[in-house]
Amino acid sequence: MAEHEQFMRRAVELARSVWGTTHPNPMVGAVIVESSATDSEAPGTILAEGATSPDGGPHAERVALNAWREDEPHYGATPHTTLYVTMEPCSTEGRTGACTDAIIASGIRRVVVGTLDPNPAHAGRGIDILREAGIEVMTGILEAECRGLNIIFNHWITTHTPLFAAKTATTLDGRIACRTGDSRWITGEVARADVMRWRRLFPAIAVGAGTVMQDNPRLTSRIEGEEEWCPIRFVFDGLLSTASRLSTRGLPALYTDEFKHRTIVVTTPHGGLGYVRQLRERGVQVWVLPSPTQRVGWAEFRQKCAGEQIFGVYIEGGAQILSQLLREAQIDYLFSYQAPMLFGDDRAKPMMRGLRTERLGQAVRLAEPLHTILGDDVLTRGRVVYPNDLSLDETVFSHG
């Protein structure tokens, strides 16, 4: 078992090496290993490795098999050759041919799988096909880790909508900014560097107009040793106040920097066509979504993203948009970074508000939470589970 975990860990590492580059495909890693025919205690030798190719190219299993065949033109599979793969091999033609076919053709007799493919077209089918072909299949090695590699894919493939992940950086008493709006920085360098990794994974980031005006953020992924990366950057601004204040407050970086064509302002017909035109003339994109009020509806935004093939959105705040998302049960996943400080000030900004939680049974919870210590701070993350009787505190939202 320890050996299986060792090679699966290598496969997970390979999957991570293509972080954020494979959408809509999952990140998968594969390793082909030869064990000793005579000494079952001897460590196996890695023959070939692979990871999912970017943009719909060959899957990890095929990349590994192709690399192996370069060395062994007729494959050299023996009864002691094992393929380790983080996710169940696909079993439908797709764009690149079923991996189950390629594995069977290679003569490999043993496959170790991390997790099942959540795609209902595959789920378990790939395993059945391999077994029917006489291949020994073992499942569930480092399962949680392998499944956790693909939070975006897992959601997309089962719901056909993007994963909406909220991210907050709070004090111990759950505040994201002081009463004045000051919030830089609550979390320390290590936690902020971790945020940069998630920004590299998600195809898009979203913030509200209040955050743009208070923080003038860049919203790019800046990782030491890597080129700066810019996801799509959504700005929620129903009345286009960020555009109308341009002349008095100067232009937000999101509308002027070298990635401004990656900024999409999301607004309503109440925002004013003149501002929409001005933004577009600058090279900034604008989505005007139908809405009876000055607020874009989150369900409409989700559908629009799905139509545009945007597979996941990392929503960084502020308090107002996060509170709306919570009360509409639109947050699928939460990244909560918590720093060891507290404000103890009622007028500091709470990360989310507006629910009426009278009993613990009504609490919003995280399923299978993961905790990571990052310098002085702690990240708690997980899938959000809402109670059946989510109840709103109307007194809060009558004031916006």
Ligand X SMILES: NC(=O)C1=CN([C@@H]2O[C@H](COP(=O)(O)OP(=O)(O)OC[C@H]3O[C@@H](n4cnc5c(N)ncnc54)[C@H](OP(=O)(O)O)[C@@H]3O)[C@@H](O)[C@H]2O)C=CC1
Ligand Y SMILES: Nc1c(N[C@@H]2O[C@H](COP(=O)(O)O)[C@@H](O)[C@H]2O)[nH]c(=O)[nH]c1=O
Catalytic residues: 61
For residue 320, what are its two tokens? 């107002």
Nearest distance from residue 372's CB to Zn ion, in Å? Answer: 30
Q: Which residues contact 290 (CB under 8 A, 6 or more apart)?
A: 268, 269, 300
The smaller minimum CB distance to ligand Y, of residues 207 and 331, is found at 207
Q: What is the DSSP code (8-state) at residue 38?
A: S
Q: Is 293 annotated as a binding residue?
A: no
Nearest distance from residue 180's CB to ligand X, in Å? Answer: 8
Applying CB under 6 A, among 31, 319, 348, 355 the residue interacting with ligand X is: 319
Residue 122 sits in the site that holds Zn ion (CB under 5 A): no
Q: Is 114 exposed, middle or buried (0-12, 13-18, 19+ CB in 10 A)?
A: buried
Residue 243 sits in the site that holds ligand X (CB under 6 A): no
- The Cα–Cα gap between 290 and 279 comes to 19
The smaller minimum CB distance to ligand X, of residues 32 and 235, is found at 235
Q: Is 90 annotated as a binding residue?
A: yes
Q: Is 178 annotated as a binding residue?
A: no
Q: In whole angstroms, what separates CA 208 from the centre of its chain?
A: 19
Q: Is 222 exposed, middle or buried (0-12, 13-18, 19+ CB in 10 A)?
A: middle
Are the CB atoms for 61 and 85 separated by under 8 Å? yes
Nearest distance from residue 16's CB to ligand X, in Å? Answer: 25
What are the CA-CA distances from residue 210 to residues 3, 148, 164, 260, 334 (Å)? 52, 32, 20, 19, 21
Nearest distance from residue 187's CB to ligand Y, in Å? Answer: 4
Strand order in the sheet with 333-338: 285-288, 263-267, 232-236, 204-208, 312-315, 163-170, 333-338, 377-385, 365-374
**Binding residues for ligand X, how many (CB under 6 A)?**
30
Applying CB under 6 A, among 239, 329, 341, 390 the residue interacting with ligand X is: 239
Are the CB atoms for 56 and 95 separated by under 8 Å? yes
Which residues are at the interface with ligand Y (CB under 6 A)?
169, 183-187, 191-192, 195, 207, 211, 215, 217-220, 316-317, 337
Applying CB under 6 A, among 52, 154, 324, 330 the residue interacting with ligand X is: 324
Among residue numbers 198 through 227, which ones bind ligand X (CB under 6 A)? 207-211, 214-215
Nearest distance from residue 301's CB to ligand X, in Å? Answer: 8
- The Cα–Cα gap between 146 and 317 comes to 29
* Interacting residues toward ligand X by CB under 6 A: 168-169, 176-177, 181, 183, 186, 207-211, 214-215, 236-239, 241, 294-296, 316-321, 324, 349
Contacting residues toward Zn ion, per CB under 5 A: 59, 90, 99
Binding site members: 59, 90, 99, 169, 183, 185, 199, 211, 215, 219, 222, 316
